[in-house]
Amino acid sequence: MKIGILTSGGDCPGLNAVIRGAVLKGERVHDAEFVGIRNGWNGLVEGEFITLDRHSVRGLSGQGGTILGSSRTNPFEGANGGPENIQRTLDAEGIDAVIAIGGEGTLTAAHRLTEAGLKIVGVPKTIDNDLEATDYSFGFNTAVEIATEAIDRLRTTAESHGRCMVVEVMGRHVGWIALHSGMAGGAHAILIPEQPKTIEQICEWVEHVRARGRAPVIVVSEGFLLSGMEQAHSHKGLDAFDRPRLGGISEIIAPLIEETTGIESRATVLGHTQRGGAPSAYDRVLATRLGMAAVDAIYAEQWGSMVSLRGTEIEVVSIAAATIGLKKVSPVRYDEAAVLFG
Amino acid sequence: MKIGILTSGGDCPGLNAVIRGAVLKGERVHDAEFVGIRNGWNGLVEGEFITLDRHSVRGLSGQGGTILGSSRTNPFEGANGGPENIQRTLDAEGIDAVIAIGGEGTLTAAHRLTEAGLKIVGVPKTIDNDLEATDYSFGFNTAVEIATEAIDRLRTTAESHGRCMVVEVMGRHVGWIALHSGMAGGAHAILIPEQPKTIEQICEWVEHVRARGRAPVIVVSEGFLLSGMEQAHSHKGLDAFDRPRLGGISEIIAPLIEETTGIESRATVLGHTQRGGAPSAYDRVLATRLGMAAVDAIYAEQWGSMVSLRGTEIEVVSIAAATIGLKKVSPVRYDEAAVLFG
Amino acid sequence: MKIGILTSGGDCPGLNAVIRGAVLKGERVHDAEFVGIRNGWNGLVEGEFITLDRHSVRGLSGQGGTILGSSRTNPFEGANGGPENIQRTLDAEGIDAVIAIGGEGTLTAAHRLTEAGLKIVGVPKTIDNDLEATDYSFGFNTAVEIATEAIDRLRTTAESHGRCMVVEVMGRHVGWIALHSGMAGGAHAILIPEQPKTIEQICEWVEHVRARGRAPVIVVSEGFLLSGMEQAHSHKGLDAFDRPRLGGISEIIAPLIEETTGIESRATVLGHTQRGGAPSAYDRVLATRLGMAAVDAIYAEQWGSMVSLRGTEIEVVSIAAATIGLKKVSPVRYDEAAVLFG
Amino acid sequence: MKIGILTSGGDCPGLNAVIRGAVLKGERVHDAEFVGIRNGWNGLVEGEFITLDRHSVRGLSGQGGTILGSSRTNPFEGANGGPENIQRTLDAEGIDAVIAIGGEGTLTAAHRLTEAGLKIVGVPKTIDNDLEATDYSFGFNTAVEIATEAIDRLRTTAESHGRCMVVEVMGRHVGWIALHSGMAGGAHAILIPEQPKTIEQICEWVEHVRARGRAPVIVVSEGFLLSGMEQAHSHKGLDAFDRPRLGGISEIIAPLIEETTGIESRATVLGHTQRGGAPSAYDRVLATRLGMAAVDAIYAEQWGSMVSLRGTEIEVVSIAAATIGLKKVSPVRYDEAAVLFG
Catalytic choice (B11, B31, B91, B128): B128
Catalytic residue among D11, D53, D128, D152: D128
Query: D236 CA to chain B: closest CA distance, Å?
Result: 19
Which of A272-281, B97-106, D47-56, D220-229 has the lowest average pLDDT? Answer: D220-229
Least confident segment among B222-226, B237-241, B283-287, D310-314: B237-241
Positive or negative: CA dihedral B194, B198, B203, B209: negative
Cβ contacts of A315 on chain B, cutoff 8 Å = none
Q: Is the pLDDT of residue C233 over 60?
A: no
Catalytic residues of A, by residue number, are: 128
Q: What is the pLDDT of residue B228?
A: 75
Residue C37 has pLDDT above 70, yes or no: yes
| List of long-range contacts for B252-259, beta carbons under 8 Å, 24+ apart | B252/B226, B253/B166, B253/B191, B253/B199, B253/B202, B253/B218, B253/B220, B253/B226, B254/B164, B254/B166, B256/B199, B256/B202, B256/B203, B256/B226, B257/B164, B257/B166, B257/B199, B257/B202, B257/B203, B257/B206, B257/B218, B258/B164
β-strand A33-37 against A2-7: which pairing, if any? parallel
User: At CB < 8 Å, which residues of chain C contact D?
Assistant: 21, 24-25, 28-29, 58-59, 61-62, 135-136, 141, 144-145, 147-149, 152, 180-181, 183-186, 214, 280-282, 284-285, 288-289, 292, 310-312, 336, 339-340
Q: Which residues touch A157 (CB under 8 Å, ≥6 apart)?
A: A163, A165, C11, C64, C65, C272, C275, C276, C277
Asked if domains B2-126+279-323 and B140-276 share a fold, the reply is yes
CA distance D218 to D250: 9
For residue C310, the tally of other CB atoms under 10 A from its CB is: 13
Answer yes or no: is pLDDT of D247 > 70: no
Provide the pLDDT confidence category of residue A180 given band limits of 50, 70 and 90: very high
Which residues in chain A are closer than 8 Å to C276, comparing Cβ atoms?
A: 152-158
Question: Quick one: pLDDT at residue C229?
Answer: 66
Which residue type occupies A166? Answer: V
Q: What pLDDT score was predicted for residue C247?
A: 54
Question: Residues of A with CB below 8 A from C268's CB?
Answer: 244, 271-273
**Is B235's pLDDT higher than 70?**
no
Beta strands in chain D (DSSP E): 2-7, 33-37, 49-51, 97-102, 120-124, 164-169, 189-191, 217-221, 265-269, 305-310, 313-318
pLDDT at C241 > cutoff 80: no
Q: Which chains share 3+ C-beta pairs under 8 angstroms with C?
A: A, D
Quick check: A197 pLDDT over 90? yes
Query: Please, what's the b/e burial string for A188-209 (b: 16 or more CB within 10 A of its CB; e: otherwise)?
Result: bbbbbbbbebebeebbbbbbeb
- What does chain B come to in residues? 342
Give the other-Cβ count within 10 Å of D336's Cβ: 19
Q: Could you confirm whether D283 is annotated as catalytic?
A: no
H helix or E strand, kind and range, residue C2: strand C2-7
| Contact residues for B311 (Cβ-Cβ < 8 A; gap 6+) | A135, A310, A311, B135
Nearest CA in chain D to C18: D184
Amino acid at D158: A
What share of chain D in percent tops pLDDT 70? 94
Residue D213: pLDDT above 50? yes
Q: Are A284 and A18 in contact (CB under 8 A)?
A: no
Q: What is the pLDDT at residue C212?
A: 92
Distances (CA, A) of D16 to A277, D13, D24: 20, 8, 12
Percentage with pLDDT > 90 across chain A: 90
Cβ-count burial of D323 within 10 angstroms (0-12 exposed, 13-18 middle, 19+ buried)?
buried
| Cβ-based interface (< 8 Å): residues of B facing D | 7, 10-11, 15, 63-66, 69-71, 146, 149-150, 152-162, 165, 241, 244-245, 266-273, 275-278
Contact assignment for B159 to D65 by CB distance below 8 Å: yes
Interchain CB distance below 8 Å, C184 and D144: no
Which chain D residue is nearest to residue C28, measuring alpha carbons? D339
Given this model, what pLDDT does residue C254 score?
A: 97
D64 chain-B contacts, CB cut-off 8 A:
153, 156-157
Cβ within 8 Å, pair A289-B336: yes
Q: What percent of chain B has pLDDT over 70?
A: 94
**What is the predicted pLDDT for the residue at A26?**
98
- The alpha carbons of chain A give a radius of gyration, in whole angstroms, of 21
Asked if B156's CB is within 8 angstroms of D277's CB, the reply is yes
Report the helix count and the strand count for chain C, using DSSP H and E: 12, 11
> How far is the C-alpha of C95 from the C-alpha of C86, rounded, in Å?
11
Residues of A whose CB is below 8 A from B62: 148, 152, 184-186
Contact state of B157 with D267 under an 8 Å Cβ cutoff = no
User: CA–CA separation, A333 vs A336, rounded Å?
Assistant: 5
Annotated binding-site residue numbers of B for ATP: 10, 72-73, 103-106
Q: Which fold has domain C140-276?
A: Rossmann fold (3.40.50)
Residue contact C65–A269, C-beta within 8 A: no
How far apart are alpha carbons B244 and B271 in whole angstroms? 5
Distance between CA atoms of C128 and C179, rounded to whole angstroms?
Answer: 11
In whole angstroms, what is the distance from residue A69 CA to residue A49 CA?
11
Q: How far is D258 from chain B (nearest CA, A)?
A: 13
Residue-wise pLDDT for C139-155, tens only, equals: 999 999 999 999 999 99
DSSP per-residue letters across A238-288:
--TTTHHHH--HHHHHHHHHHHHH---EEEEE-GGGGTSSPPPHHHHHHHH
Q: How far apart are alpha carbons B127 and B15 in whole angstroms?
A: 11
- ipTM of this complex prediction, to 2 decimal places: 0.94
Name the average pLDDT for chain A.
93
Please write the tens of the pLDDT for every residue from C90-128: 999 999 999 999 999 999 999 999 999 999 999 999 999
pLDDT in tens, C182-222: 999 999 999 999 999 999 999 999 999 999 999 999 999 99
d(CA C108, CA D74): 57
Interface test with D, best of C153, C183, C270 (most D CBs within 10 A): C183
The pLDDT of residue B248:
86
Region D180-195: mean pLDDT is 98
Work out the pLDDT band at D229, boundaries 50, 70, 90.
Answer: low
Nearest CB to C145 within list D148, D280, D311: D280
Contact (CB<8Å) D11/B160: yes
Tell if the CB–CB gap between D156 and B69 is shorter than 8 Å: no
How many CA within 13 A on the CB side of residue C247? 18
Do B40 and B8 touch, CB atoms closer than 8 A?
Answer: yes
Section D72-94 average pLDDT: 95
Rounded average pLDDT over D38-67: 95
Q: Is the pLDDT of residue A19 over 70?
A: yes
- Mean confidence (pLDDT) of chain B: 93
Contact criterion met (CB < 8 Å) for C29 and D311: no
Distance to chain C for A150, nearest Cα, Å:
6
Q: Quote the minimal CA–CA distance from C242 to chain A in Å.
A: 9
What is the DSSP pairing of strand D305-310 with strand D217-221?
Answer: unpaired
- Identity of the residue in B28, B135, B281 whose CB atom sits nearest the CB atom of A181: B281
Mean pLDDT of B111-122: 97
Which residue type occupies D162? G
Q: Do C24 and D339 touch (CB under 8 A)?
A: yes
Is the Cβ pair B289, A336 closer than 8 Å? yes
Residue among D59, D311, D339 minimizing CB distance to C292: D339
CB B246 within 8 A of CB B222: yes
Rg, Å, chain C Cα set = 21
Q: How confident is the model at residue A247 (pLDDT cuts 50, 70, 90)?
A: low
Instruction: Judge contact between D226 and D197, C-beta under 8 A.
Output: yes
Task: Tell me the residues of A at the B interface, defined by beta carbons under 8 Å apart.
Answer: 21, 24-25, 28-29, 58-59, 61-62, 135-136, 141, 144-145, 147-149, 152, 180-181, 183-186, 214, 280-282, 284-285, 288-289, 292, 310-312, 336, 339-340
Residue D321, pLDDT > 90, answer no
Q: Distance between CA C242 and CA C9 in Å, rounded? A: 12
Residue ranges covered by each domain of chain D: 2-126+279-323, 140-276
Predicted confidence band of residue A232 (pLDDT cuts 50, 70, 90): very low
Q: What pLDDT, on a 0 to 100 scale, did the predictor assign at position D233?
A: 42
Please give the average per-residue pLDDT across B147-173, as a whole number.
95
Helix H or strand E encompassing C169: strand C164-169
Chain D hits for B102, CB-CB cut-off 8 Å, are none
The one catalytic residue in C128, C130, C283, C296 is: C128
Judged on CB neighbours under 10 Å (0-12, 13-18, 19+), C162 is: middle
CATH architecture group of domain A2-126+279-323: 3-Layer(aba) Sandwich (3.40)
User: HEC states along A15-59?
Assistant: HHHHHHHHHHHHHHHHCCEEEEECCCHHHHHHCCEEECCCCCCCC
For residue C276, give the amino acid letter: G
Q: Subunits with at least 3 CB pairs below 8 A relative to chain B?
A: A, D
Binding site listing of A for ATP: 10, 72-73, 103-106
Report the alpha-carbon distance of residue D6 to residue D323 in Å, rounded: 19
User: How far is residue D6's CA from residue D41's CA, in Å, rounded to a whole number?
Assistant: 7
- Whole-number average pLDDT of chain D: 93
